Amino acid sequence: MATASYDRAKEVKQFDDSKLGVRSLVDSDITAIPRFFIHPPETLSDLRQPCSTIRQDQDVIPTVDLSGVDSQLLRPMIVDKVARASRKLGFFQVVNHGIGDDVLDRVIGAIKEFHEQPTEVKALLYRREINYGVLFFSNIDLFRSKAASWRDRLTIKFDPAQLKLEEILEICRNEVMEWNKRDHARGGDDGIAVRRIRSEANEVEGDDFPRTEDHGGTLLPLLIIEVGCRLSTVRNGWMLNKPVPGALVINIGDLLQIMSNNEYRSVEHRVLANPSREPRISTAVFFTPGDAESLIGPFPELISPETPARYRQFTYTDYMRRFFTKELDGKSLTNSYRLSD
């Protein structure tokens, strides 16, 4: 319960100015969790609601096997599975994606080691200005959320115009660069696997997807290597997504829902509280357009008198501005660009 003597804005600013992050806060031997991490009573009911509506044994998040993706016989079946999962759930997992378990294990281990570095080392990268290639901070929405998340974040943008390799700490540099190389080889500039499968599944030419010639960025999925369980919304509650070892979790984002003109579903999702004393490490990859000022909207091939455009056009710059100035409450940004019926 808030009291007159509690100045939340001041306490949040002091935490951010300290550049500690959550991990270093724990290492500082605190005896109580700072109040700005604790949800006020009015938000707790919303957070507790999923616990009574989790469906674990009815529907299962589909797992798509990408082996044989270059086969004329198997490829149509793989495309169909991706399309159905993208339309119905907005969540699926892929296996045999060409990124070895050793690469996944190394990048997860390297990111964990980064967060275990001394405060003074990580503090050199602690910043919120988005025009840097490497950023370390705690909570994107720290100053806007009703309660902060118990989470730190390392962001690396593989944009040659912003990224300086020497800013990536040596303890994780090689692993991160190897992951980026392997990831783009399977879903990036050359269009193998997920990128072109998405195009075919939505009956759109692969080259129509916004891309960069420099580093293969696209507007397609959010890829997550997940340690732990996630929840995603279904019509009658929440579905538990139990990770498959070595699989990549594909999460349809707002931009792909808009570009597919509502054919694909950007699904609300949450992460379950971690019951273990070990930290949960998630490595996410956001594919983004190379030209931040290019217009984004529904693909022209998907627009007709029977299926008119559901969204207006906008720039990626506008989308990111809205993203970084809203609370991370799980609510979609698609409504910001929706056209009236």
- DSSP states of 309-334: --B--EEHHHHHHHHTTS--SS--SG
Alpha-carbon gap, residue 91 to 252, rounded angstroms: 6
Residue 14 CA from chain centroid, whole number = 28
Per-residue pLDDT reduced to its tens digit, 8-58? 999 999 999 999 999 998 888 888 999 999 988 777 665 555 555 565 555
Angstrom CA distances, 314 to 205, 218, 266, 319, stand at 21, 16, 18, 8
Which pTM was predicted? 0.79
Alpha-carbon gap, residue 110 to 127, rounded angstroms: 21
How many alpha carbons fall within 13 Å on the CB side of residue 308?
A: 6
Contact 154, 121 (CB under 8 A): no
Q: What is the pLDDT of residue 55?
A: 59
Contact 226, 249 (CB under 8 A): yes
Per-residue pLDDT reduced to its tens digit, 228-262? 555 565 555 677 777 788 888 888 888 889 989 99
Closest to 280 measured CA to CA, from 288, 292, 272 = 272
Q: What is the pLDDT of residue 214?
A: 34
Alpha-carbon gap, residue 152 to 169, rounded angstroms: 16
Closest to 41 measured CA to CA, from 146, 151, 150, 143 = 146
Q: In degrees to the nearest 10, what's the CA dihedral of 167, 212, 80, 90?
A: 50
How many alpha carbons fall within 13 Å on the CB side of residue 3?
A: 3
Instruction: Please give the chain's pLDDT, 341 residues, in tens.
Output: 445 688 999 999 999 999 999 999 888 888 899 999 998 877 766 555 555 556 555 556 889 998 888 888 998 898 888 888 888 888 888 899 888 888 888 988 999 999 999 999 999 999 988 788 899 999 988 998 888 988 899 988 887 778 888 999 999 999 988 877 776 555 433 333 345 555 555 565 544 444 433 333 332 333 333 645 555 655 556 777 777 888 888 888 888 899 899 988 888 777 777 677 778 888 887 776 667 788 989 988 889 999 999 999 999 889 888 887 776 655 678 989 999 86
Q: What is the pLDDT of residue 227?
A: 46
Extract the tokens encoding 321: 């501005």
Contact 102, 244 (CB under 8 A): no
Secondary structure percentages of the chain, helix, strand, coil, to 5: 35, 15, 50
Q: What is the pLDDT of residue 332?
A: 76
The number of residues in the chain equals: 341
Axis-axis angle for helices 194-201, 75-88 (nearest 10): 70
Q: What is the pLDDT of residue 130?
A: 77
Q: What is the pLDDT of residue 307?
A: 92
Q: Cα-flanking dihedrals φ and ψ of residue 104, to 5°?
A: -60, -45
End-to-end C-alpha distance for the chain, whole angstroms: 43
